[in-house]
Structure 1
């Protein structure tokens, strides 16, 4: 893959990762504690799960990038803590993507690095949808400016 294309792929990942922080900036402690009806992971636990899945892939494909990351146990995380951990795991995934595009593969994943990027974004977007559904069920949706802002990738 040409260097410009792989740089664009990594930039796509970084934009996607910043969307999590943008949403977290709009959530208070009550919103983070919201649980889907009738049961399930809290909003905070959903964000922690996203981080932990990144960590799982890093442990498989690039243990050196995984080493400094903490696994997030339990549902009680502040927005600031979640933003910090998601930023760290997001940077580690970006470094993994750079390596993967140079090598043409991600250890433990098939078929290729572009598919891995698609997998990660799909997985995390699925959980972001669950987060928004949980917030809606609990009457905690952020303002429309934030909801529309989730789709403004050109300014994140």
Structure 2
């Protein structure tokens, strides 16, 4: 009987998380992309940019990325810009995770370990997916029912 490979499982979960993020970006109604609910609040584009830019912050701290992806400007980015940026930052973080799992299990600047780092990133993205879904609904431009269900289809994404 083969043993369970936790490293592989965490990397697959992080990849699925990425695909779910892209699915959400593609399915947010265009009308909700730039609209703000409150004067001081973020719009969907800015939340999506924040998700990417937080990855960049951790990539810089980890110091394992030869070329840091560009920051995403929430005030100017399109959905296509966001998808491209998320693809780049996901690949860079995936590389950091793979290196950490293959060595001492640590990510520079993050405690306690690489598994917790992966969990932190998943939780951060999930929190903001919820924010985006709720914001779109509050703005009167909710995600379709099928898109909402699609966010939970981890077995097929």
TM (normalized to structure 2)? 0.91
Q: In 2, Cα distance between the equivalents of 1:114 and 1:36?
A: 35
In the alignment, which residue of structure 2 is the partner of 1:97? Answer: 97
Residue 18 in structure 1 maps to residue 14 in structure 2: no
Deviation at 1:78, TM superposition (A): 1.1
Task: Please state how far the C-alpha of 1:102 moved relative to its aligned partner.
Answer: 1.4
State the alpha-carbon separation in 2 of the partners of residues 6 and 102 from structure 1: 9
SS in 2 for 1:155: coil
Shift of 1:37: 3.3
Shift of 1:63: 4.5
Q: Which runs of 4+ in 1 moved over 4 A?
A: none
CA-based RMSD of the aligned residues comes to 1.7
1:144 is displaced (CA, Å) by: 0.3
Q: Does 1:71 align with 2:68?
A: no
**In the alignment, is residue 125 of structure 1 matched against residue 126 of structure 2?**
yes
Structure 1 gaps, min length 5: none
> How far 1:51 moved relative to its partner?
0.3
Shift of 1:74: 3.8
Aligned-partner Cα distance in 2 for 1:73–1:83: 13
**SS across alignment from 1:107:** coil
Q: Which has the higher helix share?
A: 1
C-alpha distance in 2 between matches for 1:60 and 1:19: 25
Residue 46, structure 1, aligned to residue 47, structure 2 = yes
Given the two structures, how large is their TM-score scaled by the length of structure 1? 0.91
Structure 2: runs of 5 or more not aligned: none
Q: Which residue of the partner structure matches residue 153 of structure 2? A: 152
Measure how far apart 1:45 and its partner are. Answer: 0.5
